[in-house]
Amino acid sequence: MGNIIGIIEKETDGKSFKSHKYCNDTIDMSGIKYDDNDKVIWQNYGETEQHKTCINLKDRADVLRNGKSIFTYFLDGSRHTYKVDDISYNKNVYPILAGQVGIGCCRRVNKELKKEQFLRKLLIVLPDISYRDGWGERSFFNGLLEKINDNKRLKDYLNIEFSDVLTYKRDQDDKLEKKGVAVIQDYMVDLEKDAVADLVLQGKLDQDNYLIKDGSLEYQAGSVKSKNKKNLSDKRIANNYKYVVGVSKSFNPTTCLVKSGGSNSDIIANLKPFERTPAYMYKSERSGNNVYFVIWYLRLRDSKYTNNVFDGVLKVEKLVISEREQEKGLDSELIDHISANLLNERNPVCYGNDSRWANHIYPIYLTESFVKSKYLSNNLFMQLF
Amino acid sequence: MSLIGRIIATEKIPTTMDEFYFWTDKSLILSPFDVVKVEHVNNSNTFAVIEEISHITDCASFLSNFISSDFGDVNASEGTYRIGMNYVKAKVVGNDKNIFIPVQSSAKVHLANKDEVSIALGLNKIKNPLICGYLEMYGGTSDFEKITLPVNVDSKFLIGPEGAHLNISGISGLASKTSYAMFLLKSIQDKCLLEEEEEDKEKETVAFVVFNVKGKDLLALDEVNNFDGDVEDERKTKELYKMLGLNTTPFKNVTYLYPYSNERVSNTYAEKNLLEKQSSLNKAYKYKFEYEKDKDNLDLMFANIDDATQTMDSILNYIINNQGGFGGIKSWQSFLEKLDERCQAGGSFSDKEIPVTSWRKFNRMIRKSINNNKLFSDINSDKKEVRISDKLAEIKKNDVYVIDIAKLNSDMQAFVFGNTVRELYELQLGEKETTDGVKPPDKIIIFIDELNKFASSEVPKSSPILKQILDIAERGRSLGIILFGAEQFMSAIHSRVTGNSSTYAYGRTNAIELAKGDYKYIPHVYKNMMTRLKQGEYIIQNPIFSSLLNVKFPKPLYKQFK
To test the contact with chain A by mutation, choose from B27, B61, B67, B69 the residue with the greatest count of A C-beta atoms within 10 A, namely B67
Nearest-CA distance from A71 to chain B in Å?
10
CB contact under 8 A, B82 and A369: no
Contacts of A357 in chain B (CB under 8 A): 67
Q: What is the pLDDT, as a whole number, of residue B92?
A: 94
Is pLDDT above 60 for B167?
A: yes
CB contact under 8 A, B64 and A362: no
Contacts of A312 in chain B (CB under 8 A): none
Highest mean pLDDT among A166-180, A328-342, B522-536: A328-342
Confidence of residue A31 (pLDDT cuts 50, 70, 90): very low
Question: Are B166 and B105 spatial neighbours (Cβ–Cβ below 8 Å)?
Answer: no
Is pLDDT above 50 for A182?
A: yes
Residue A366 in contact with partner chain B when CB distance is under 8 A: yes
| Percentage above 70 pLDDT, chain A | 89
Q: Which residue of B has its CA nearest to A68?
A: B79
Task: State how far the Cα of B31 lies from the Cα of B135, in Å rounded to an integer.
Answer: 12
Question: Residue A337's Cα: distance from chain center in Å?
Answer: 24
Nearest to B424 by CA among B278, B317, B297: B297
Peptide bond into B250 cis (omega under 30): no
Average pLDDT for A48-63:
89
Confidence of residue B152 (pLDDT cuts 50, 70, 90): very high
Reported as a single tens digit per residue, the pLDDT across B174-184 is: 778 999 999 99
Confidence of residue B5 (pLDDT cuts 50, 70, 90): very high
Residue B65 in contact with partner chain A when CB distance is under 8 A: yes
Task: State how far the Cα of B135 lies from the Cα of B553, in Å rounded to an integer.
Answer: 9
Residue B85 in contact with partner chain A when CB distance is under 8 A: no
- Pairs of residues, one from chain A and one from chain B, whose beta carbons lie less than 8 Å apart: 67
CB neighbourhood size of B129 (10 A): 15
Task: State how far the Cα of A344 lies from the Cα of B396, in Å rounded to an integer.
Answer: 80
ipTM computed for the complex: 0.76
The angle that helices B410-429 and B464-479 make with each other, rounded to 10 degrees, is 30
Q: Which residue has the higher pLDDT, B217 or A25?
A: B217
Reported as a single tens digit per residue, the pLDDT across B521-560 is: 888 888 888 998 888 899 999 888 878 889 999 999 999 8
Question: Which of B64, B76, B79 is the closest to A351 by Cβ?
Answer: B64
Q: What is the pLDDT, as a whole number, of residue B110?
A: 94
Reported as a single tens digit per residue, the pLDDT across B345-368 is: 766 665 667 888 888 888 888 888
Residue A261 in contact with partner chain B when CB distance is under 8 A: no
Confidence of residue B1 (pLDDT cuts 50, 70, 90): low
pTM over 0.90: no
Is pLDDT above 80 for A174?
A: no
CB contact under 8 A, B79 and A362: yes
Hey, what long-range contacts does B494-498 have (CB within 8 A, 24 or more apart)? B494/B455, B494/B456, B494/B457, B494/B459, B494/B466, B494/B469, B494/B470, B495/B457, B496/B470, B497/B167, B497/B451, B497/B455, B497/B469, B497/B470, B497/B473, B498/B167
Question: Residue A172's Cα: distance from chain center in Å?
Answer: 23
Is pLDDT above 50 for A30?
A: no
CB contact under 8 A, B79 and A347: yes
Confidence of residue B479 (pLDDT cuts 50, 70, 90): confident
Confidence of residue A96 (pLDDT cuts 50, 70, 90): very high
Confidence of residue A260 (pLDDT cuts 50, 70, 90): low
| Percentage above 70 pLDDT, chain B | 96
Q: What is the pLDDT, as a whole number, of residue A41?
A: 63
Residue A113 in contact with partner chain B when CB distance is under 8 A: yes
Quick one: DSSP state of residue B164?
A: B
Residue A311 in contact with partner chain B when CB distance is under 8 A: no
Q: Tally DSSP H helices, then E strands, for chain A.
A: 11, 15
Residue-wise over A28-56: b if at least 16 C-beta within 10 A, else e? bbbbbbbbebeebebeebbbeeeeeebbe
CB contact under 8 A, A350 and B58: yes
Question: Are B336 and B342 spatial neighbours (Cβ–Cβ below 8 Å)?
Answer: no
Q: What is the pLDDT, as a whole number, of residue A32?
A: 38
- Burial class of A251 by CB neighbour count within 10 A (0 to 12, 13 to 18, 19+): buried
Q: A71-89 and A92-109 as β-strands: parallel, antiparallel, unpaired?
A: antiparallel
Q: A210-214 and A244-248 as β-strands: parallel, antiparallel, unpaired?
A: parallel
* Helix, strand or coil, per DSSP, at residue B135: strand
Is pLDDT above 60 for A199?
A: yes
Is pLDDT above 70 for A28?
A: no
Q: What is the pLDDT, as a whole number, of residue A36?
A: 43
Reported as a single tens digit per residue, the pLDDT across A301-314 is: 888 887 788 888 99
Q: Which residue has the higher pLDDT, B345 or B158?
A: B158
Question: Are B48 and B93 spatial neighbours (Cβ–Cβ below 8 Å)?
Answer: yes
Question: Are B287 and B259 spatial neighbours (Cβ–Cβ below 8 Å)?
Answer: yes
Is pLDDT above 70 for B25?
A: yes
Confidence of residue A342 (pLDDT cuts 50, 70, 90): very high
Across chain B, mean pLDDT equals 88
Q: What is the pLDDT, as a whole number, of residue A253?
A: 66
Reported as a single tens digit per residue, the pLDDT across B367-382 is: 888 888 888 888 888 8
Between A100-109, A279-288, B211-220, B420-429, the lowest mean confidence (pLDDT) is in A279-288
Reported as a single tens digit per residue, the pLDDT across B46-87 is: 999 998 999 999 888 898 888 888 888 898 888 888 888 899
Between A318-332, B191-205, B389-403, the lowest mean confidence (pLDDT) is in B191-205
Across chain A, mean pLDDT equals 85
Contacts of B218 (CB under 8 A, 6+ apart): B178, B182, B210, B211, B212, B402
